[in-house]
Structure 1
Amino acid sequence: MNNENTHNANRSHMYDTKARISIPSYDALFAMIQSYFRVQLDGGDASLLVIGAGGGNELTAWGPANPAWSFTGIDISEEMLKIAQYKANQLRLENRVNLIHGTIDELPATDEKFDAASCILVLHFIPDVQEKLKLLRTINAHLKPGAPFVLVSAFGDRDSKELQNRLHIWKSFWLDAGDEASSVDEMVNKALMSLSFLSDEHIEKLLTEAGFTNITRFYTTGLFGGWMSTAAL
């Protein structure tokens, strides 16, 4: 293994480890989404749009077991996309994966629309509500009518006692994994609290305004929620 592959393998391992501490049911989440997509796509050839594909976990979770699926992944982080490409290469998925550095606006102009899309752990990094809505509307515009879409995001009313209680529970995941209390507090104060939290009602309103229907929250763990929906007909 050359130096670049070693670097990407180490970063991949670190990213995957942290994701599974932050979201203890991380693997179950991807398994649930796969089940939903499989039923909706009815076992045929399908093109999937992956927003926030850096890290490559959508590729590793869904690629090997679904040989008729192809993936177009977008991420603003070039370093994270290197991890995704490394995973695609390791799993020999290169012929079914196209990774794009940038935002959804970098998608090539085409009349072809996607059969499904995911936006997992991205929305809470977008501070402006109108920019969140713009992203969701653009995803909808790139989907075939009735195509399945899954959104996973941190959620909650920042000023509520309920979110503070969930924060305490979330911190326990890291403490139990061996992190020092001071480093966990720093992570909450500097990183986590910089995220753009919206209530679940507000997220569902944005999905509706973006044109999605059949909006259903199917997943909740710690600080994060997941919603299934379908693109406008």
Structure 2
Amino acid sequence: MAEDGALDFMKGFRDAEKVAQYPDGPRRFVPGLEAVHRMTGLLLAERVPDDGRVLVLGAGGGLELKALAEAHPGWSFVGVDPAAEMLALAERRLGPLMERVELVEGYIDDAPAGPFDGATCLLTLHFLDAEERCRTAAAIRERLHPGAPFVAMHGSFPQGKGERALWLSRYAAFAVSSGVDPALAENARDSVDRAVNMFTPEQDETILRAAGFADLSLFYAAFTWRGWVGTA
């Protein structure tokens, strides 16, 4: 991904008007997003104790934080995101749940050292190139107790000749079928094609293994999206 393209894409997460509209967007572009949040909580709960502390990287907007906090009232959270506007939206969304949440503006290096009982990174790693993605995943692992669970979900689909264009067209078609204006869906498709790092599921799994995660399993696959669970 070109650096300029990445910066242009990320500007939307710092635009107050666009951020206000954010919560509706992921639901229309990501099949079964609410179910992903529910599954994430179930996967974490296999190993996270009732009073566990969970790291959420890419927490802006607060969608997964709210879902996890409501489903697991004994857990506490640290949510990290580089966009102040997105963190402000998360705080508004969480309301009284904020008493169990610490929000940190920044990247993984700005997160507390832990150790945490579990971690998530949803709809985030595809913004990073392979080297930075591996470094970030490794930094998450370093902040976890040995054996603690990690759940990642992001864009990941076949990249062979003709396949990338086909799957990106399906990405846009799903958004249109969910009520997104066709012109906006096509613009999103072009932005993803130009400015977001998308690798094959095999490459993504290799990156997670290189970062030190074990027992990796694919738990979610829907059009251009994939989700994995592994352990530190």
Shorter-chain TM range is 0.7 to 0.9
Q: Residues 76-100 of structure 1: CA distance to partner in whole angstroms, max 9, x if unpaired?
A: 11110001111122xx112210000
5+ residue gaps, structure 1, are 1-7
Quick check: 1:29 aligned with 2:36?
yes
CA distance change for structure 1 residues 193 and 220 in 2, over 3 Å: closer, same or farther? farther
Q: In the alignment, what sits opposite 2:133? A: 132
Q: In the alignment, what sits opposite 1:156? A: 157
Q: In the alignment, what sits opposite 2:210? A: 209
**Structure 1 segment 85-96 matched on structure 2, within 5 A:** 85-89=91-95, 92-96=96-100
Residue 48 (structure 1) shift: 0.3
SS of the residue corresponding to residue 153 of structure 1 reads strand
CA distance change for structure 1 residues 9 and 195 in 2, over 3 Å: closer, same or farther? closer
Residue 10 (structure 1) shift: 9.3
Residue 117 (structure 1) shift: 0.1
Q: In the alignment, what sits opposite 2:71? A: 65
Q: In the alignment, what sits opposite 1:98? A: 102
Residue 11 (structure 1) shift: 4.5
Cα separation, 2, equivalents of 1:86 and 1:180: 27
Consecutive aligned runs of 4 or more in structure 1 exceeding 4 Å deviation: 8-12
Q: Which residue identity lines up with residue 73 of structure 1 in the other structure?
A: G
Residue 182 (structure 1) shift: 3.3
Cα separation, 2, equivalents of 1:144 and 1:56: 24
Q: In the alignment, what sits opposite 1:198? A: 199
Cα separation, 2, equivalents of 1:183 and 1:67: 38
Cα separation, 2, equivalents of 1:26 and 1:15: 14
SS of the residue corresponding to residue 150 of structure 1 reads strand
Percent of aligned pairs sharing the same letter: 32
Q: In the alignment, what sits opposite 1:77? A: 83
**Structure 1 segment 41-60 matched on structure 2, within 5 A:** 41-42=48-49, 44-60=50-66
CA distance change for structure 1 residues 136 and 182 in 2, over 3 Å: closer, same or farther? same
Higher relative contact order (CA 8 A, sep 6+): 2
Contact conserved, 1:215 with 1:229, CA < 8 A, in 2? yes
Q: In the alignment, what sits opposite 1:187? A: 188
Residue 188 (structure 1) shift: 1.4
Q: Residues 183-211 of structure 1: CA distance to partner in whole angstroms, max 9, x if unpaired?
A: 32222113443110111111111111111
SS of the residue corresponding to residue 193 of structure 1 reads helix
Cα separation, 2, equivalents of 1:207 and 1:10: 31
Q: Residues 142-190 of structure 1: CA distance to partner in whole angstroms, max 9, x if unpaired?
A: 0000000001111134444333332222212222244443332222113
Q: Which residue identity lines up with residue 146 of structure 1 in the other structure?
A: G
TM-score (norm: length of structure 2):
0.86
Aligned residues: 218
SS of the residue corresponding to residue 15 of structure 1 reads coil
Larger radius of gyration: 1
SS of the residue corresponding to residue 215 of structure 2 reads strand
Cα separation, 1, equivalents of 2:17 and 2:73: 24
